[in-house]
Amino acid sequence: MSTIKTLWIDVETTGLNPHEDSIIELAALFEHGEEKSVFHTYCLPEKIVPESFKKIEELTGITLDFLKKNGISERSLYDGFTQWMSRYISKYDKGDKAIFAAYNARFDNEFIRELFRRNGDPYFGSWFYSAPLDIMSTVTLAFRLGIIQGMKNFKNATIAESLGIELKAHSAIEDIKASRQIQIILEDYLKKLEGAHVN
């Protein structure tokens, strides 16, 4: 079990552009040795076009009506997320950071950075190491080394299925569970492969 603090993170959003689109679901799993904690909530963006949101509903299963009943504001999302992280990470201690881990990490990283910016906080880097852990890169390495084969694509759901991991696609909380499992399984394969080369 890693002794490095890790935040496994996934977001569902209204689109692909972090500067124009918004987070509608954020899930995070903090892990440090045996210690674990989950943050999971839905967000109702200030600006939303009901007609265009239909595609998001089809993709994620998250309806606008659901968000109106259960979603919190972006400010409340930022406040809740940073308050939760502060239980486990001291942003004032330069030596206390977590790895930002996600499948296609750049996407999630940029949306959360933008969430911080929108709420007047330029100190995203106070929480995390500068280099995120992109689980897709681990998958690519495993593919290159022949550990996994015959992939039709590199989507989270495809890799999860190939490794026998159950995944409800486009659910942030389910995605982080599956992504974490993918990373751990492939890390074990890579360690065994390294051990075989050493011996």
123-164 pLDDT tens trace = 999 999 999 999 999 999 999 999 998 888 999 989 999 999
Please name the amino acid found at residue 20: E
Minimum mean pLDDT among 25-29, 75-79, 80-84, 166-170: which range?
A: 166-170
The Cβ-side half-sphere exposure at 128, using a 13 Å CA radius, reads 23
Average pLDDT of the chain is 93
pLDDT at 196 over 70: no
Place of tokens 């486009």: 170
* Region 175-189 average pLDDT: 95
Q: Is the model more confident about 194 or about 65? A: 65
* CATH superfamily name and code, 6-198: Ribonuclease H-like superfamily/Ribonuclease H (3.30.420.10)
- Measured on CA atoms in the order 102, 103, 105, 110, is the torsion positive or negative? negative
When pLDDT is cut at 50, 70 and 90, the band that residue 122 belongs to is very high
pLDDT at 48 over 90: no
* Region 32-41 average pLDDT: 96
Helix (H, G, I), strand (E, B) or coil at 96: coil
Per-residue pLDDT tens over the stretch 78-96: 999 999 999 999 999 999 9
Helix (H, G, I), strand (E, B) or coil at 151: coil
**pLDDT attached to residue 8:** 98
**pLDDT attached to residue 195:** 73
* Region 38-46 average pLDDT: 96
**Per-residue CA distances from 64 to 22, 33, 53, 55, 78 (Å):** 13, 38, 7, 11, 20
Rounded CA-CA distance 11/40 in Å is: 10
Spatial CB neighbours of 3, under 8 Å, sequence gap ≥ 6? 32, 33
When pLDDT is cut at 50, 70 and 90, the band that residue 101 belongs to is very high
End-to-end CA distance of the chain: 23
**pLDDT attached to residue 115:** 98
Q: How is the chain split into domains, by residue range?
A: 6-198
Q: Is the model more confident about 195 or about 11? A: 11
**pLDDT attached to residue 172:** 86
The Cβ-side half-sphere exposure at 137, using a 13 Å CA radius, reads 8
